[in-house]
Structure 1
């Protein structure tokens, strides 16, 4: 990212109450608008106006307000903003820091850097040109970064003769585009930045406009919620060993940390109490540390804590997951591809991740998007990332400080983005063991004795696949065929389990994960008893199926009942796809919620290309080869 040029804060100014980013297509007048606004509000540093006049006269040109911000000589020579420039502005209500973000396509990463820390935004649109490519891309990136306070300045109204009809045309196009993003402009103001019209003072040339001036619109913005009002997040930066103590050091990103607090450390999911808040220098040690400050703490018990762990309070903990969705701005020189291995930087943590899928590449002109097999430089995309280890994170909408991520390929930063968990559950509750003083019972019968009696090993045959793939049909037919062979067998099906054992669960991602956890534990008990239990569940998440595999051990056999989504929709035996497409059923797998196919199942049964009898024969052959008793198994 480029370095930032920042004007020294005038002594008369208080700390900034608002951080404002100004964006828009190149040459639509962002820098000119800011420079004139600073002049009209008396916010220019001493001597700056005289400097501008001298530079403009030297170049034989009219007074150029954009030179206020063009602090780099390269910018003046090229007449283009390439840096992120910050400068102070005094409004009637508050003091602001204005961030001027570059408009050129080549400097989009600079624009993202500038907008990431802003509370609100001004989108500048040329009245004669209307919304252009970079205008739309900048607006999309504002939405991606979670900015919801946006004002629009329709600039250069003097070049269209202050025409009200032209303003209305541009206003409607801007508002329609923002509406497609889920944004609403707090004000759309017709301005002429060069002449100072409708910036701080009303324009006599536009009597038809009755809305606020741009300055009045800025004063309607509200600062983002103070970080101290959000749940505690303390990413651990380092662990120091000092005087036989282990001091955990990090920056409090959000919330408040107090001496004596009980902390939960993620992803280890273990707790300890703060013994001391460390203090160096004169004065007494603080009893609390608020967001924005770096702190060192010791714990009342020797937990293993390392760089990248996140400390929080247990009642407002971050999400634990090894898979999540991310909206990314791809700036890598080479295209992003499915299956690509990258390094994820999340706070102080670094983890190896794989691009599980490219879900959508967004056309920032039309806001449309579709399937793609790669993402090119400066494209916006939605992807699913998977890690081998558990990660502690937040959805960006819940906590921006721990909901942003960066992707690195080797030594190059290739993407920046935000986290969302749409369609995926928080896995923390599935990893938390609440029972205590529990001991396993040792049975007097072993697996070999049960297998000898039954003629087969105990097994969990786990059918997974989309709704309509044929899981239940094959499960019931397989149960019947196995029973006829004299095997001890039973089917656990999604519908019958939800009428009893799991009747208290809904269909949100967390409920679906708990549903599979319970079924997996029950199925494992069936297998321990020597039965062949066939389960018929969509079970869309790999992590859930892996937990069942771990619980059942060698008895677990994953069979992927495979069928294309289009085939399943054509079958639609329960009419569920039709309801999902109509929006009646939210979070429906394959439509509005993800399905993660198995990576290495024991058997794949493709029901879209083979008959029921042929698929059943494959399953029976697998059982005979891997589950039915052989002489060598009990010899």
Structure 2
């Protein structure tokens, strides 16, 4: 729905951004002073402060009220202040310019209809200015005014204006923002802020406030589809109340509403406000409220209330644009906390489609698999549970999200579109998470360690102990045991030659898949035939998986004496046909990577040899990272 209010009746939210020391706070202070928007007491306080400290009057102090800001001359948090000009109400959002406070700028820019980007003409366009431009672009702010400040320092030079105007237009064209207003001014001298200044006789545009007066405010949130994220559920007496803030649209008693992502429906029974007052029949955007519904259905925090004919999108896979602020890079496949409105889930990045360098604004080529601090990326994101949201361009309030890394906010972004899950699979093909990325995340590389030997030689005992010892050393390992395989995946197989060959193939495929996920896989399997073991090696090494064969060697008479599973005893009674070592041959490896003499050595001695053999192979070092990149299956 279109906002039919006349332009002068609409409030305009303006974010002021700019590099520290470029004069942003001074400009805002000057605007407030010139529009008589500063209380008399505030003016007198600032005048007294400057006089007491023997410094010139500073307009920035009208805005920067925090003691830390006065002492450091930087804006720390997002400040909001209102003023009227030309019968129009403006809300100024003052965003921090210092690098450490970019996160706060994102939260401020998310509320803005337009932006004023302040640039010191004597300093030019710096890296921080480029980052601010990136954030404004990321958050979809289309109306941008460049306030070229401090022209008094360059003698109001026209050539400086023309040169910087060309640079600004080039910068914003790269970001897809072609429509700019560029206003030359001097905040300190009060030139070209409200009225046009004769100092800029060569400039034929309007003053800063004249330009702002002509900008469009966003359509009223009340005119957008209903979005009421549930913040909490309360019980008072016999009433069950769903509380939250209406981000857009309106809600009325008696109407049918839907809850997303669950898809449940009910009618509004009552609407409540606090402090207690007569229950309203309708509540509009921007109001916090609590509602009762007619049906006793389970609703929890994170659900979004909407009308059935204008629902949000629901999905687990999203195309998004992200600004990353974490000290550690954003890693494909790593888990992050995803928060949108009041909903929360675990999310992982499936793909990085594009990364923009924050300094050059150029696309990085080839596209990296991680996103570093202060870079913008277009990504495909998957959440662990369905999320209700909207494309940012449609409803900004439910199109923005944040990512947290270990409970620390590390990035913010916008939803571009929701993808069908199958579409992601079709475009992905093979996993884009490389073996090296998995290894760096886990701290070790994967591999398959294939233990072969007669029943009773000690394979199972060694494998289970080895799994524990590796785990306690920070190496994630898993055992595939022959007996367990026979009762599950290979339950349908017999013990003839073809069945045994198929059993080995299945074990190798399972080991390969587990190793591709990053695990160290220990296979404890008699695997009596040399050809089958070679085939198992080929299955793994074809996929770049490290494969090592370990011969667990104990003489048949010792294995028969141990007989921990009573297999030899059962075979002697004819209960087990084709028993390896008795009536079916065992082919010892002609070559193996490690030979353990379990008939003559203790379990502890053999475990020591296994650890000494495996840990250097899988533990990650810079040299091993290079080797994995060059040849994933190379022996290190």
1:270 to 264, 270, 273: 264
Could you say if the C-alpha distance between residues 464 and 332 of structure 1 is closer, same or farther in structure 2, counting changes exceeding 3 Å? closer
Aligned to 1:416: 412
Contact between 1:152 and 1:185, CA under 8 Å: does it hold in 2? no
2:36 to 36, 42, 47: 42
1:251 aligns to 2:242 (yes or no): no
Measure the CA separation in 2 of the matches of 1:34 and 1:122: 10
Q: Give the CA RMSD over aligned residues.
A: 3.1
Residue 224 (structure 1) shift: 1.7
Could you say if the C-alpha distance between residues 304 and 124 of structure 1 is closer, same or farther in structure 2, counting changes exceeding 3 Å? same
1:95 aligns to 2:105 (yes or no): no
1:235 to 212, 219, 229: 229
Q: Deviations over 1:498-552 (max 9, x none)?
A: xxxxxxxxxxxxxxxxxxxxxxxxxxxxxxxxxxxxxxxxxxxxxxxxxxxxxxx
Residue 32 (structure 1) shift: 1.3
The two structures have a TM-score, normalised by structure 2, of 0.62
Could you say if the C-alpha distance between residues 322 and 52 of structure 1 is closer, same or farther in structure 2, counting changes exceeding 3 Å? same
Measure the CA separation in 1 of the matches of 2:339 and 2:136: 21
Measure the CA separation in 2 of the matches of 1:44 and 1:426: 54
Measure the CA separation in 1 of the matches of 2:172 and 2:112: 18
Aligned to 2:379: 383
Matches within 5 A, 1:494-573: none
Aligned to 1:402: 398
1:337 aligns to 2:362 (yes or no): no
Contact between 1:320 and 1:426, CA under 8 Å: does it hold in 2? no
Measure the CA separation in 1 of the matches of 2:44 and 2:237: 59
Contact between 2:185 and 2:191, CA under 8 Å: does it hold in 1? yes
Residue 242 (structure 1) shift: 4.4
1:319 aligns to 2:313 (yes or no): yes
Contact between 1:248 and 1:296, CA under 8 Å: does it hold in 2? yes
Contact between 2:183 and 2:207, CA under 8 Å: does it hold in 1? yes
2:166 to 157, 163, 172: 172
Determine helix, strand or coil for the equivalent of 2:74: coil
1:285 aligns to 2:266 (yes or no): no
Measure the CA separation in 1 of the matches of 2:117 and 2:274: 46
Aligned to 2:461: none
Residue segments in structure 2 that go unaligned for 5+ positions in a row = 1-7, 430-512, 514-538, 544-636
Measure the CA separation in 2 of the matches of 1:465 and 1:64: 57
Measure the CA separation in 2 of the matches of 1:224 and 1:159: 36
Structure with bigger gyration radius: 2
Aligned to 1:187: 181
Could you say if the C-alpha distance between residues 365 and 65 of structure 1 is closer, same or farther in structure 2, counting changes exceeding 3 Å? same
Could you say if the C-alpha distance between residues 336 and 265 of structure 1 is closer, same or farther in structure 2, counting changes exceeding 3 Å? same
1:392 aligns to 2:392 (yes or no): no
Q: Which moved more, 1:85-94 or 1:349-358?
A: 85-94
Determine helix, strand or coil for the equivalent of 1:169: helix
Aligned to 2:125: 131
Contact between 1:31 and 1:69, CA under 8 Å: does it hold in 2? yes
Aligned to 2:370: 374
Aligned to 2:551: none
Residue segments in structure 1 that go unaligned for 5+ positions in a row = 1-13, 431-462, 468-559, 561-602, 608-635
1:163 to 143, 152, 157: 157
Q: Which moved more, 1:244-253 or 1:288-297?
A: 244-253
Measure the CA separation in 2 of the matches of 1:85 and 1:293: 21
Contact between 2:337 and 2:407, CA under 8 Å: does it hold in 1? no
Q: Deviations over 1:220-270 (max 9, x none)?
A: 122222111110111122233445453322222111111221212211223
Aligned to 2:209: 215
Contact between 2:12 and 2:113, CA under 8 Å: does it hold in 1? yes
Matches within 5 A, 1:49-60: 49-60=43-54
Measure the CA separation in 2 of the matches of 1:408 and 1:134: 23
Measure the CA separation in 1 of the matches of 2:49 and 2:284: 46
Aligned to 2:196: 202
Determine helix, strand or coil for the equivalent of 2:198: coil
Measure the CA separation in 1 of the matches of 2:324 and 2:239: 43
Could you say if the C-alpha distance between residues 62 and 465 of structure 1 is closer, same or farther in structure 2, counting changes exceeding 3 Å? closer
Contact between 2:9 and 2:88, CA under 8 Å: does it hold in 1? no
Could you say if the C-alpha distance between residues 269 and 92 of structure 1 is closer, same or farther in structure 2, counting changes exceeding 3 Å? same
Measure the CA separation in 2 of the matches of 1:51 and 1:16: 32
Q: Deviations over 1:481-509 (max 9, x none)?
A: xxxxxxxxxxxxxxxxxxxxxxxxxxxxx
* Matched residues, number: 427
Aligned to 1:65: 59
Residue 90 (structure 1) shift: 2.3
1:113 to 107, 119, 124: 107
Could you say if the C-alpha distance between residues 102 and 214 of structure 1 is closer, same or farther in structure 2, counting changes exceeding 3 Å? same
